[in-house]
Amino acid sequence: MAEHNLSHIDLNEYPHINKGLDGIVAFSTTKSNINGQTGELIYSGYHIDTLAENATFEEVCFLLWYDRLPNQTELDELHKKLQANRELPEPVLTYIKTTNPKAEPMAVVRSAVSMLADFVDDDASDEYNAIIMTAQIPTIIAAFDRARNGKEVVAPLKDGSTAFNFLYMLNDEKPGQAAERVMDLCLVLHAEHGMNASTFTCRSICATESDIFSAVSGAIGALKGPLHGGANTAVMNTLLILKEQGENADPVAFTKAKLDRKEKIMGFGHRVYKTFDPRAYHLRKMSKELSEETGHVYLYEWSEAMVKTMKEEKNIDPNVDFFSATVYYSIGIQPDLYTCIFAMSRISGWTAHFFEQKANNRLIRPRALYIGEKNLPWTPVEDR
């Protein structure tokens, strides 16, 4: 907005301004560890490869909340609580059905999650509220996608996994085992990831002793940004532009031309990983298998060509968003819902960090250096 003349500031007297808080350690955590050099990711003790091969999303929720895997009784109980709490309060459903159908899906998820706060008791525990949000975010996403497309909203099932029920509500058709497993694996891979911008936002809001709905709706707002979760939608939109070029589509030339124009190519590079994102391995494998099954092999091949070009030209590897885009596309999900699915998974990590922050809290309040004028005299409006 306004332009500033900084000539009155002695630049030698500036303190160091750490604009991104890079490298500053603000928390200790048991929720996840990222080794950016080796490309390793751990959730509460377990390597992401171990979890990708063995765990369900519900097991990961329990793991992140309690720092251990549930036994059979505990897992059954968690499933039951999630299944019993999937239905939305009537005013939330009314909002979803009557708001502007062109609204951004992430904005609708943010508003609907915020509204859920009105329908829990003041003395409900944070754990209960975490379950409410984990159970209802899938319902919110599916209901809005159907409502905006003029389709009848499908009520949630009272059984089945989070992944199964979400695909059922979205398509009004029970998914097969393969689709459920793909969806579930995507939820496992996106559940938690260190001190990213949305998790940090969640903890900053928690630190004022505000409530868990405030913290999560703030986190959803942060995830919505293209520099954070919004990237996977952008990746798919890039691939769809390529698709429009039909037979002339050339992913290598396309990527190089974008680089020449100094345009950002979404889905590559990461503030923390200096190597291949470990989640991208699993998504890449899924993307290959699914593209073959669903006749989108060209999308997978283009993706690989882009990965190769980016490595050669810029030495940058793909991140989690790059292959998740083609995976979601192959199972028939609209590109503008991808970030919502990210939120549907990350709710587990956000709420886990909320519990952890609350247990050992301090208000988060960095400083800003003032570079404006001081003590200007008042000028009456008629003299301005």
Report the amino acid identity of residue 296.
H
Our finding on whether 370 is near its own copies (CB under 8 A) is: yes
Per the annotation, the verdict on 270 as an active-site residue is: yes
3-state secondary structure (DSSP) of residue 318: strand
Active site residue 321: yes
Contact flags string 124-163 toward its own copies, x per CB under 8 A: ---x------------------------------------
Residues in region 339-368 near its own copies by CB under 8 A: 355-356, 359-360, 362-368
Is residue 262 a contact residue for its own copies (CB under 8 A)? no
* Contact (CB, 8 A) for 220 and 110: yes
Backbone dihedral region for residue 39 (phi beyond 0: left; psi -120 to 50: alpha; all else: beta): left
Decide: is 1 part of the binding site for its own copies (CB under 8 A).
yes
Question: Which residues within the stretch 52-71 sit at the binding site for its own copies (CB under 8 A)?
Answer: 53-55, 59, 65-71
DSSP 8-state assignment for residue 268: B
CB of 134 to its own copies, least distance (A): 15
Q: Which of 211, 277, 317, 321 is catalytic?
A: 321
Least Cβ distance, residue 275 to its own copies (angstroms): 18
Q: Closest approach of Cβ 223 to its own copies, in Å? A: 7
Instruction: Pick the binder of its own copies from 117, 124, 249, 252 (CB under 8 A).
Output: 117
For residue 43, report the phi and psi dihedrals to the nearest 5 degrees.
-105, 120
Edge-to-edge, what's the strand order for the sheet holding 46-47? 32-35, 40-43, 46-47
Q: Does 79 bind its own copies (CB under 8 A)?
A: no
Residue 374: CB minimum distance to its own copies, A: 6
- Out of 47, 81, 181, 285, the residue judged to bind its own copies by CB under 8 A: 47
Q: What does the radius of gyration of the chain's CA atoms come to, in whole angstroms?
A: 23
| Min dist. Cβ of residue 198 to its own copies (A) | 8
Distance CA 195, CA 32 (A): 9
Measured N-to-C along each axis, helices 177-189 and 338-359 cross at an angle, to the nearest 10 degrees, of 50
Binder among 23, 150, 246, 295 for its own copies (CB under 8 A)? 23
Binding status of residue 75 toward its own copies by CB under 8 A: yes
In angstroms, the CA 266 to CA 225 distance is 12
Return the number of other C-beta atoms located less than 10 Å from residue 302's C-beta: 23
Q: Is 249 in the site for its own copies (CB under 8 A)?
A: no
Q: Of 288-307, which residues contact its own copies (CB under 8 A)?
A: none
How far is residue 324's CA from residue 345's CA, in Å, rounded to a whole number?
13
Measured in whole angstroms, how far is the alpha carbon of residue 271 from the centre of its chain?
16
Catalytic residues: 270, 321
